[in-house]
Structures are given as C-alpha cells and as structure tokens.
Amino acid sequence: GAVVSQHPSWVICKSGTSVKIECRSLDFQATTMFWYRQFPKQSLMLMATSNEGSKATYEQGVEKDKFLINHASLTLSTLTVTSAHPEDSSFYICSARGGGGQPQHFGDGTRLSIL
C-alpha cells in the first residue's frame, strides 16, 4: 500500500533554533501534501495544504513566516519551524494524496520538543 515517510520522528532542540521536518511519498506521486498539528489528547488540526510547485495555503491563525512549507517535488514536502519556542512543541503529522480522488496517506508524525 501507499507509504508516507516522515523524518525525523522525534527532535529536541533549544528555543530559537529552526527545525526542518521532511515528508516523502515513497511509492506514489503526491500532488497534494498536508501538514497537521496535534496537541495531547486532541484531534488533528490542519495547518496548511501544498500543491507541488505552488505556494502553500495556510489555515486561519497559522503563521506562514513561522511555519515554512516547501513542496518542490511530487515526492517531497518540508515543514520548517523557524525560531522555535516552547509553545511550538507538538506532534506534527504530514499527509500526502495523489490525484484523481485518491485517499490521503499519513506519515508517522514528528514529536517536536522545544526546551
């Protein structure tokens, strides 16, 4: 079945640093990729949607300069949390979808902890 690989799975870093998370579709071309954030015991909240070669569309309340998204190819999207602070600590999950009404497939998530 379709596989989405997300890396790293866990990162701990100091406040003020920038962190990059990668999301790859391993066996299909992902025309659209999604980035979600999940707080403990809560559901997934969509942060942004990106189509290959286009700028990402951010949900209301999500700072585009804080969460930089790049979707440069049909198999790779990256989320960079710039100048991360403790309140950015969360579980980030990416998802990828091919064309033609295909379902979304999810990565295993990245646990981000900012000290």
Partner 1 sequence: KQEVTQIPAALSVPEGENLVLNCSFTDSAIYNLQWFRQDPGKGLTSLLLIQSSQREQTSGRLNASLDKSSGRSTLYIAASQPGDSATYLCAVIARNTGKLIFGQGTTLQVKP
Which residues form the interface with partner 1 (CB under 8 A)?
4, 6, 34, 42-44, 46, 49, 91, 93, 95, 101, 103-109, 111
Q: Which residues pair with 20 in a beta bridge?
A: 80
Nearer to partner 1, 16 or 99 (CB): 99
Nearest residue (CB) to partner 1, 67 versus 82: 67
Q: How far apart are CA 59 and CA 49, in angstroms?
A: 8
Q: Which is nearer to partner 1, 86 or 101 (CB)?
A: 101
> How far is CA 74 from each of CA 7, 22, 31, 70, 111, rounded to the nearest angstrom?
17, 13, 6, 11, 24
CB of 111 to partner 1, least distance (A): 7
